[in-house]
Structure 1
Amino acid sequence: SILLHRDETTSTDYSIIFNTLQKDTANSEKEAVEFIYRQLRNAEPPDEETARGIIDKLFFSDKRYDLGDVGRYRINKKLGLNVDPDIKVLTKEDIIDIIKYLIKLVNSKTDVDDIDHLSNRRVRTVGEQLYAQFGVGLARMARTIRERMNVRDNEVFTPTDLINAKTLSSVINSFFGTNQLSQFMDQTNPLSEVTHKRRISALGPGGLSRERAGFEVRDVHYTHYGRLCTIETPEGPNIGLISSLCVYAKINKLGFIETPYKVVRNGQVALDEPPVYLSAEEEEDKIIAQANTP
């Protein structure tokens, strides 16, 4: 619950909450839950338990909702939380801290996120996309198995009668055959092959389109330094949307691009220490200098 003291409600900082409470017709938790149900389903809830169940399934059930590793990591980082990374659903603390952050944002006490900053963009590898397609195939197979078991209610059957591998293989084949990003590998020479494998596209499913992409998305951003090559990009409609990884850049387990830096101690470069790989978010509070800086 959010508690507002009388003296706070008159201040401009909390005016957004005060105005919301004035407009809100719900006077109890039960009324609020039923109001949310009506907004989501456009119908009256049969009872309070059903209304609560819809909200729980929407955000708080791990069977229906999944923030993923990246979602939990970003929420913890953004809001300064210490929630266990294994909790992949929203918690009450998350929602309260999100509201607090939005109040700060409305009152210009924090900065708006830069959508082109590489801490807000990540690489979805082929393996991750294939993993998602595999999940779709398994879900279809499970539905087919359930339907066949319902039809053959009293019959004796074996697993081979129920499982059809074509359901899964057709999804995998369509992923490689019809996906927008699926291409034949450039094998003119070994160098062109490596270059093709290191190419990164902002197009495709869940990405941008050439028509919608504006100048800001295509432009060079300061977080590209050491991560994405600022020169190697095609001319024409794909400019800035298709890039290449820098020579020493690598992608971490969350999909963020990291670049290596040498540590400077007491004004001297620590040449005997291994380089430290930092993502765009991790380097924000660091002082970065060129290698030839005296």
Structure 2
Amino acid sequence: MVYKMLVLNIDGTLLQDNGRINKMTREAIEFAQSKDIKVILSTSKNFPAAKRVAKTLKVDNHIVSHQGGYIAKELNKPVYVNKIDEKITSEITTFLESFSCQIKLVHEQFSLGNKVKLPENILAKVVFQRTNRFSYSEQYVDNLSEKLQEGPVSPPKIEAAFDNNANLSDAKKAIEEMYDEVTCIEVGDNKLDIVAAGVSKLNGVKYLCEQHGIKRGEVVAIGAGIDDLPLVQWAGLGVAMGNAPAIVRSAANWNTRTNNDNGVAYMVKEHFRKQYKLEFLKKINVLK
């Protein structure tokens, strides 16, 4: 099989635990692109944060961000947007405030969160990473629902980090029973992403495949989180990082090394080294 698209998660995949991208990973992405492979980032991150990673890797393709709710190359030029309604955002926020949890409304241009004290062991697991304050505004307020009364927000994603899994399960069940307009995605470490119905990394990648005429069997997807599972299962070649949960590793066609042991670089160079450039394959009529 000749592969035309390489889809990469960011956290736990491209990024090491220290938040950096290893030189070998950057070289591997450059190698894949030299073969005319279309490299796509698919992430739960907000668009500006994902765009910075793309620039570091010299990737200039559309980014599937906000769990698939915002797809774009440039911030103000999205090709696909699916946001949560303002009224529903306000109602869900009010409901989540009944739990001891960190809430964050993740817009493509800013984020708005509540000030809450969680146990230190929980905070250590919360992956709400601060972004460059000059390019992406982050504001934290004492009462998030009151703030929304002053100015409604329609975000592509709501993040909620709970102090235990029981609260997460209760909140997820209630939200899913109350609203057909949203989807709840568990992302591990007692963290829940809430997006508009129909939004997912998988659907975002499918959208781009349709735009570029790329078939399912021509896609390689590398992931590390529970939210990457549907995409890893769907791709022609689904790859799990060594640090991925067991359920993701079991579902994958191929398991690579961990994010701290250059798993992306290892997989890309092992698998793509024998594939000719797509342009060459077209010239010799192997590809149309």
TM-score range, shorter chain: under 0.3
- Higher share of residues assigned helix: 1
Q: Which is greater in Rg?
A: 1
Larger relative contact order, structure 1 or 2 (CA cutoff 8 Å, min sep 6): 2
